[in-house]
Structure 1
Amino acid sequence: MNYCQKIHYNIFQADQADFDKLVDRLLDCIPQNEIVLRLVFFGKPLSNAQYLERRLLIRKKVRYRYQHSEPALTYVAQPPLGAALIMEVHSYIPDGSDCIAFRHYEGTPYVMVENDKMKCLYAGGFQEDILMFGIQQQAAGVFARLGDVLRKEGFPISSIVRQWNYIERITDCDGADQRYQMFNNARSEFYKPVDWSNGYPAATGIGADLGGLVVDVDAVVFKQEDCYATPIDNKLQIAAHAYSEKVLEKAGVQKTTPKFERAKRLTTGNNSLIYISGTAAIRGEETLVGVGLERQLRITMENIAELIGDAAIKFLRVYLKDRSYYEEAKFLLETYHLNVPISYMCADVCREELLIEIEGIAMK
């Protein structure tokens, strides 16, 4: 089997139960015949103290269940829409050529898959313990730990093909400096020593109610000439890393651009997987303002279609600025007849005027 046949993405949701029972119910849904690479839980804690308690509870349950096969694990404080708790599962069906290793770094689990074509790293939950620190300080610690894991396992920083960045109160300011812009500055500093001639990672920078800064990554080192990664541009949009000064927010003396590609394609022979970055109703570098949710959703889906071409969408995450948009967004997406797992979360998008952002996976 090729990589696209081996990797799977599923979404499960649960409602109307105590939190520990919700977690158990979701864990019971995981397919037993697949190797779990990553679990991402989306919930609505009421405070950072409760967030930490629930994160610990999830960790204990996952560790008890998986023992020496513990997947990468992340808990995101984004209120799920249509459920009390949502769990996303990235899983893998290995064949005889695959070697799978489950490891930890300072208590953070991650998974490595290696075969004759590639070596892959699935890591997440990189997060500081003290959530009251400023975002720039948290980001420095998070990227230091991520860098340590990459070096330990022989992955260059430029091998990151997909990055998820969850930022508490993303559009708020710490003093005079916007939190998302400070994160972008810290990311630029982490990426600075690296040759990115093959494009930056696909990425999402999205708000969370609580939890400080959390970062997840997929990284790949290829071994054969017919296996490689390529950045994908959208001719309808300016690349985020090429934004002009006028659309960047204030953060101290620095003002760096968001370092990500609109999408990234992993090619293995005749097959490809496309990581679709967080995508919104932006044309050029300007947001479509005042056009309403339906128009923003349609433009977002047009942008995604431009990125993936004739590849098929396999999975979507939808972030909505206000929970009141949930029913309308769900109805509108159903008109696309995608028949794929879709999750909906309430989260601040990186620009105040954006009502919706969508990310996902496509395959060909």
Structure 2
Amino acid sequence: MNYCDKIHYNIYTTGVAAFSEMVDALLAQLPQDEQILRLAFFGMPSDNEQYVSRRIILREKIRKYYGNHEPVLSYVSQPPLNAGLILEVHSYKTGEGDHVTFRHYGGFPYVVLENADGRFLFAGGFHGDVINFGIQQQSAEVFHMIGEVMRREGFPVNSIIRQWNYIEQITRFDGPDQHYQMFNNARADFYGKTDWNNGYPAATGIGANLGGILVDLDAAVFARPECYATPIDNKLQVAAHAYSDQVLEAAQQKKATPKFERAKSMTFDGRRIVYISGTAAIRGEESLVGVGLGRQLHITMENIDQLIGNAKLKMLRVYLKEKSFYEEARELLEGYRLDIPISYMWADVCRDELLIEIEGIAIE
């Protein structure tokens, strides 16, 4: 068995109940015979005060539940559309030669996996100290923390394979400065400290209704030539990091492009895992406008098909701009007969005209 067989991705859901009860119901479903690497909760707090208090509840429960083996923990303020609370779990079935270490930095748990193939970092839940500070300041704080963890553990910044970026009110402007563009500028500043000769990470930049800035990431440093990462382009789309000024907003008179690849794969002796970035109905660099949800979903799935080749989808996250789109989106995706875990969240997409965004993971 290699990495592609040992890494598992799953989605757990629970009905609407008191927050603590929903958390307990989700934790009770987790596998007991695997190392839990990442827990990402998706819920709907009423305001940022409740968001912070629920984040504290989660931390306390996870610490009590896992003791010295705390996985990465994130709480994303995105209202679930198919559950009261959603939990996405990344876990690993350890074998001979696998060494998993659980560590902390500044109160944030992270995990390092080491084996003959390389070293793998699972980190996240990174957020600024003060949720009411501006997006620019929060973004800079978060990237500083990421840099410190990676430096401590010996992972170059360009070893990031997959990054998830959650941005409160992503398309909103503070004066002349758009939230997403402020985040992109901060990411470009952080990434600019190194070269990316093997492509940027796969990434999602998606809206959250509350919660400020929140970032999760996976990184890898490979130990054998048969194990490596590959950036993946979509011939139907312009690479996001090559967008023209025409499709970018401004923040502090800067227009840094979104620094990510359409997908990125990790190969292990011919097997590979493909991380599909947040994908939408964009052809070239332009959105498909005025075509409706069904057409946008179809084009999005065509884009994903271009990225994964012969790999098989293992999990999808679906972000919908309007709650009312849920039933139609679910029925349309059921028509693809995927038979995989799918979560549905109500979230702002990075362009106003986009109605849906989908990300996922595939394995070949």
Give the alignment's TM-score, normalised by structure 2: 0.99
2:241 aligned partner: 241
**Structure 1 residue 252 displacement after superposition:** 1.5
Letter in 2 for 1:27: L
> Aligned partners of 2:245, 2:47: CA distance in 1, in Å?
35
**Structure 1 residue 15 displacement after superposition:** 1.1
Letter in 2 for 1:214: L
Pairing of 1:1-364 with structure 2 (within 5 A): 1-364=1-364
**Structure 1 residue 82 displacement after superposition:** 1.6
| SS at structure 2 position matched to 1:13 | strand
> Aligned partners of 2:197, 2:270: CA distance in 1, in Å?
24
Letter in 1 for 2:344: Y
**Structure 1 residue 152 displacement after superposition:** 0.1
Letter in 2 for 1:80: P
**Structure 1 residue 253 displacement after superposition:** 1.9
Structure 1, residues 89-114: CA drift from partner, whole Å, max 9, x if none? 00000101101000000110000100
| SS at structure 2 position matched to 1:69 | coil
Structure 1, residues 54-113: CA drift from partner, whole Å, max 9, x if none? 000011111100001100000000000021100000000010110100000011000010
Letter in 2 for 1:43: G
> Aligned partners of 1:361, 1:16: CA distance in 2, in Å?
27
> Aligned partners of 2:18, 2:244: CA distance in 1, in Å?
48
Structure 1, residues 189-231: CA drift from partner, whole Å, max 9, x if none? 0000111010000000000011000000000000000100010
> Aligned partners of 2:15, 2:110: CA distance in 1, in Å?
28
> Aligned partners of 1:151, 1:129: CA distance in 2, in Å?
21
> Aligned partners of 1:56, 1:290: CA distance in 2, in Å?
42
C-alpha contact (below 8 Å) 2:281/2:354 kept by paired residues:
yes
| SS at structure 1 position matched to 2:275 | strand
C-alpha contact (below 8 Å) 2:16/2:85 kept by paired residues:
no
Letter in 2 for 1:277: S
Structure 1, residues 291-326: CA drift from partner, whole Å, max 9, x if none? 000000000000000000111000000000000000
> Aligned partners of 2:236, 2:89: CA distance in 1, in Å?
32
| SS at structure 2 position matched to 1:310 | coil
**Structure 1 residue 143 displacement after superposition:** 0.3
> Aligned partners of 2:11, 2:358: CA distance in 1, in Å?
15
> Which deviates more, 294-303 or 7-16?
7-16
> Aligned partners of 1:82, 1:240: CA distance in 2, in Å?
30
**Structure 1 residue 118 displacement after superposition:** 1.1
Letter in 1 for 2:224: Q
Paired residue total: 364
> Aligned partners of 1:16, 1:243: CA distance in 2, in Å?
41
> Aligned partners of 2:225, 2:10: CA distance in 1, in Å?
30
Give the alignment's TM-score, normalised by structure 1: 0.99
| SS at structure 1 position matched to 2:49 | helix
C-alpha contact (below 8 Å) 2:111/2:123 kept by paired residues:
yes
**Structure 1 residue 129 displacement after superposition:** 2.2
**Structure 1 residue 258 displacement after superposition:** 0.3
Overall identity of the aligned pairs, in %: 63
**Structure 1 residue 16 displacement after superposition:** 2.7
> Aligned partners of 1:260, 1:197: CA distance in 2, in Å?
13
Letter in 2 for 1:197: N
> Aligned partners of 1:241, 1:116: CA distance in 2, in Å?
33
| SS at structure 1 position matched to 2:339 | coil
List alignment gaps of at least 5 residues for structure 2.
none
**Structure 1 residue 174 displacement after superposition:** 1.1
> Aligned partners of 1:270, 1:198: CA distance in 2, in Å?
18
> Aligned partners of 2:68, 2:16: CA distance in 1, in Å?
31
| SS at structure 1 position matched to 2:104 | strand
Letter in 2 for 1:250: A
> Aligned partners of 1:341, 1:159: CA distance in 2, in Å?
28
Runs (4 or more) in structure 1 with deviation over 2 Å come to none
